[in-house]
Structure 1
Amino acid sequence: MDDAANPLRIPPQMSVYADKHNLFHLLQRMLTGLLIDQPEDPISYLVRLLQAADVPKIMLLGPPAVGKHSAAKKLSAELGAVHVTTDSLLEDQSELSAEARQYALTHQEIPAELLIQLIKRRLNSVDCVDKGWVMEGVPQTFLQALRLQQAGVIPQHVVMLEAPDDVLLERARGRLVDPLTADVYHQTFLWPADDAVAQRLEKRRDLPEEQRLADLQRYRREVTALTSAYQHVLRVVNSDQPITDVYQQVAAFVKTRRYYRTPRILLLGPPGSGKSHQARQLSEKYKMVDVSCGRLLRAAAADGSAVGDEVQPYLDGGTPVPDPLVLKVLDKRLSRLDCCSRGWILHGFPRDLEQVRSLQESQHRPNRVYFLEVTDDVCLERITLRATDPVTGERFHVVTRPAPNSEVHKRLRTRPEDGVDTVTQELRLYRKHTAALQSVYPDAVHIDADQDFHSVFEALESRLTAD
């Protein structure tokens, strides 16, 4: 498809500027707010939204007895932000709060929709808009996190405190409360320095041990999903250390300006290192666009465009497509709206120093680069022992995924490009240019790809939000 028929192509310069200044994220917040709140005066609403862009918006999460309340209270005081808790949401005399209190009084979970209405109303109040907020202990479930995001409640920082279960249970048993300030102390882990405060401490009414264990198990069931919901703005802090150390780490994190950068990922590695598989996994989970250079060229040749007509003879002849033509095809694809707004994962290009320099000089420079490291012997084993079933299109491997029966095994076919000589030559070319590629990306992350695909994906994922 030519440019004239593609209205969703964004000028590259605009894309780079928007990513640098976080405009796509800002636009998303503004449109989300308009659609959800539907204000009568949208201009004044947007002005107010922009004015509130830099105030703190912090969530402090973690299991019971991990120290959320103490950290959140101190943090809100230091930042001058509003401390929002589940209890504070129930304090006013509105019908919503009254309805929610009925659930709380009977120790029932407040329905997600009701809780989100309470939170949204509180965060839209004048003090929260002007000063910002530190929200403690909410959301507790992935459903609540999803509903909050749909309601436009997007934090700038999320801190998740963690500690071993035995430590948390011990803390819960010895917890004490100052009836005047509601500050939480502990007879072993956190004793007040002021004797007057120590004398008036009261022991909280303990929950049954079974209830404490149930609450902790419930949190453990949700923690993985909660982590994924806020992965781009999340910091996990070990709470099993002195409280001053914990707070210093929390405060240092929330005082940084962390914005989600639209991921532009470059996956490099030898043939057989798993680039296609990892790109597909990242794309499926994070909705980024999987851009395989090989597939992209074949698609261009088949779409009837002028550029495709230029590409087709090279594919028919089995010769490399010239770099300027490859870059033209890449530029068209990476300038599309989905790539600009959701991000992309590029693999199969660049392969040498000239190509990588051309990419760096374009408007599509990657902001995250990964090298998948694996030996030639492993690559040869992965590629040369695989074959495809021409009937189903499924790919099998002699060692890792053998054919299910003899009938399928007999009809398997090995692609010519998967032969030992061809793969050996491809590996030799990659090794020849590896040092040059690494010199252009000295800060790239090197991942050990000689392990199961899930472990490799976890290693990639853990660095996805690195600045």
Structure 2
Amino acid sequence: MDETAKPLRISPQISIYADKHNIFHLVQSLLSSLVIDQPEDPICYLISLLQRSSSDIPRVMVLGPPAVGKHTVARELSAELRAVHVTTDSLLQDQSELRAQYTLPEQELPAELLVRLIQQRLNEIDCFNRGWVLEGIPQTHLQALSLQQAGVLPEHVVMLEAPDDVLLERTQGKLVDPLTGDVYHRTFIWPAAAAVTQRLEKQSRSEKQRLADLQRYRCEVTGLISAYQHVLKVINCDQPHTDVYQQVLAFVRTRRCSKTPRILLLGPPGSGKSHQARLLSEKFKMVDVCCGQLLRSVAADGSVLGEEIQTYLDDGRPVPDSLVLRVLEERLSRVDCSCRGWILHGFPRDLQQAKSLQESQHQPSRVFLLELTDDVCLERITLRATDPVSGERFHAVTQPAPSSEVQNRLRTRPEDSIHTLTHTLSQHRIHTAALQSVYPDAVHIDADQDPHSVFEALSSRLTEDTRGHTPLN
């Protein structure tokens, strides 16, 4: 095999050290800064970054619908943190041609243009030294993804929220100071100085325009939440402004603990482990490690170890734990698992395997147990079949084959027969109690519901951990 084609691996000792001290997060931040600033002397630049206390440099986004109070919160937060307050208007301040071309907020800036303007602004020395608060940026999911790809990664994202009727009421009483651009309201926020009160102007937007602005935001909010879910806090703004601001400030002052997730999914056959692992992998960017697929992949690679594993697969015998652990440890030591984390399923199946995994350098940080009765497991599995051409698995009820051609070539695996399944489920029940003794903190999830509901239950538990600034382990 070509040595250059071998996957990069990180020793378990280095992986544990790096995870303990947030090394991967630090490297990501340094690389992001290099991409943004592109210094002529990258070594000196990185040294200066390391000498700074990164926890004191705020990188905050304040998002929310029109009239929710983004401007006031961002302005006060910038003053409190001594960070640079960046708005779309300020980005276009010296761009007369662009200001004439784009009428805000009716026209949002194209993602490519926004990224270029943001990079230029964050490259300036004040943002570099003091940090920044982006107000209302990004506005769309596409803009968010473009900013992430360009290395603009916030430490905290505040999403202000309020019911539509409250927002529309606020837009009707909204007033702007033409001198400073500060926003006030007759009921919610009123200036203390009489001089400011006298020069306030009412915005000239019609009710139709206000409704269009709000609808445009509602179409994008789900994508924005998805893009920043790990650093996001949603705050209800249908309360006094002082209370809202104190919640924002408390969140921004909380350091985010970035730990590499190592997730273990347990559950009986048919509980949906593979499906949920794929969904969680896509959402949280973890590596999906299915033990069965991994063994088959190694068996097919032509290596000595693969040939040894293939003999067991051909005979229908279980692969010895010693070989399984060798394969798993090699896979979990690769740089993608070390940096992004992993979600493992299909192993361990019994007490000895669980102890062996705990004694390795790859202990899971979170364990989820999908619970399902034997009757439902049998119903689910006996109705599923595999396409020998694509390898894709279908189910007669929940995921039928897309065509009669595919349906006709589907095959049921021998291990999915009722007789074999009954024995497998019986063994699973025996081993489950022992596994729970190894993982007493495992989170139990009801898998007897639609896959989306199970996914939401799993996802919310992981999101709560990161939003609550609690390490996954």
TM > 0.5 fold call: yes
The residue number in structure 2 matching 1:424 is 422
Post-superposition CA distance 1:325-358 (Å, at most 9, x none): 2111100111112222232221001122322222
2:27 counterpart of 1:27 = yes
CA contact (8 A) 1:178 1:200 kept: no
2:271 counterpart of 1:273 = yes
The residue number in structure 2 matching 1:132 is 131
Secondary structure of the corresponding residue to residue 344 of structure 2? strand
Which of 202, 205, 210 aligns to 1:204? It is 202
Partner Cα separation in structure 2 for residue 331 and residue 247 of structure 1: 47
The residue number in structure 2 matching 1:333 is 331
Which of 368, 378, 397 aligns to 1:370? It is 368
Give the 3 Å change call, closer, same or farther, for CA 397–187 of structure 1 in structure 2.
Answer: same
Partner Cα separation in structure 1 for residue 277 and residue 247 of structure 2: 33
The residue number in structure 1 matching 2:39 is 39
CA contact (8 A) 2:286 2:343 kept: yes
Shift of 1:205: 1.7
Secondary structure of the corresponding residue to residue 265 of structure 2? strand
Shift of 1:157: 0.7
The residue type equivalent to 1:188 in the other structure is: T
Secondary structure of the corresponding residue to residue 188 of structure 1? coil
Which of 287, 297, 314 aligns to 1:299? It is 297
Secondary structure of the corresponding residue to residue 190 of structure 1? coil
**Number of matched pairs:** 462
Which of 82, 85, 110 aligns to 1:80? It is 82
The residue number in structure 1 matching 2:322 is 324
Partner Cα separation in structure 2 for residue 250 and residue 361 of structure 1: 42
Partner Cα separation in structure 1 for residue 58 and residue 25 of structure 2: 17
Which of 377, 380, 387 aligns to 2:378? It is 380
- Which structure 1 segments of 5+ residues have no match? none
Matches within 5 A, 1:451-466: 451-465=449-463, 466=465
2:49 counterpart of 1:60 = no
Give the 3 Å change call, closer, same or farther, for CA 52–425 of structure 1 in structure 2.
Answer: same
The residue number in structure 1 matching 2:8 is 8
Matches within 5 A, 1:132-281: 132-178=131-177, 182-191=181-190, 194=192, 196=194, 199-200=197-198, 202-281=200-279
The residue type equivalent to 1:384 in the other structure is: T
Post-superposition CA distance 1:386-420 (Å, at most 9, x none): 23455675544343345678887676543221122
Partner Cα separation in structure 1 for residue 142 and residue 430 of structure 2: 50
Partner Cα separation in structure 2 for residue 392 and residue 4 of structure 1: 29
Shift of 1:66: 1.0
**TM-score scaled by structure 1?**
0.89
The residue type equivalent to 1:322 in the other structure is: P
Give the 3 Å change call, closer, same or farther, for CA 351–244 of structure 1 in structure 2.
Answer: farther
**Alignment RMSD (CA, Å):** 2.9
Q: Which moved more, 1:32-41 or 1:224-233?
A: 32-41
Shift of 1:52: 6.0
CA contact (8 A) 2:24 2:339 kept: yes
Partner Cα separation in structure 2 for residue 34 and residue 408 of structure 1: 50
**TM-score scaled by structure 2?**
0.88
Post-superposition CA distance 1:255-299 (Å, at most 9, x none): 111144333221111110001111223334554322111121222
Partner Cα separation in structure 1 for residue 143 and residue 69 of structure 2: 21
2:118 counterpart of 1:116 = no
Post-superposition CA distance 1:75-103 (Å, at most 9, x none): 22222222222233334xx4xx3333323
Give the 3 Å change call, closer, same or farther, for CA 204–5 of structure 1 in structure 2.
Answer: closer
Partner Cα separation in structure 2 for residue 26 and residue 406 of structure 1: 52
Give the 3 Å change call, closer, same or farther, for CA 234–384 of structure 1 in structure 2.
Answer: same
Partner Cα separation in structure 1 for residue 377 and residue 158 of structure 2: 40
